[in-house]
């Protein structure tokens, strides 16, 4: 039986879907091919680098979001489906024929 270190046991890989500008994605794919690293690895490294920079809390002002009355999610809208939500917000996807 193989034992894991605490760090290995804590690491979890999550699959997710992101909407990325096509030019940004093309650049990541180009770098992926040049460096022989996976696209996922490059994106994860870029996110880690961004997060490690922190932020200037003095430059970040709190935002008050208005509370608007309503009845919750519109009927038929599935918030767990990005394509379904996009269709509700923007209409049918022209790529769906």
User: Which token pair is 13?
Assistant: 């890989």
Q: What is the largest CA-CA distance in the chain?
A: 56
pLDDT at 75: 81
Residue recorded with tokens 């022989």: 36
φ and ψ at residue 56, rounded to 5 degrees: -85, 105
Predicted TM-score (pTM) above 0.75: no
| % of the chain exceeding 90 in pLDDT | 31
94 pLDDT more than 70: no
CA atoms within 13 A on the CB side of 46: 13
- Alpha-carbon Rg for the chain, nearest whole angstrom, is 20
Q: What are phi and psi of 65, to 5 degrees?
A: -85, 130
pLDDT band (50, 70, 90) for residue 45: very high
Domain segments of the chain: what residues?
19-54
Residues 6-37 have pLDDT tens digits of 555 566 888 888 899 999 999 999 999 999 99
- Counted residue by residue, the chain has a size of 97
């Amino acid at each position: 039986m193989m034992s894991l270190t605490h760090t290995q046991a804590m690491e979890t890989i999550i699959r997710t879907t992101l909407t990325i500008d096509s030019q940004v994605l093309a650049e990541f794919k180009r770098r992926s091919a040049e460096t022989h690293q996976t696209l996922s690895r490059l994106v994860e490294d870029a996110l880690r680098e961004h997060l490690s920079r922190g932020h200037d809390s003095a430059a970040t002002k709190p935002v008050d979001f208005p509370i608007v009355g309503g009845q919750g999610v519109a009927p038929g809208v599935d918030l767990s489906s990005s394509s379904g939500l996009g269709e509700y917000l923007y209409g049918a996807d022209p790529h769906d024929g």
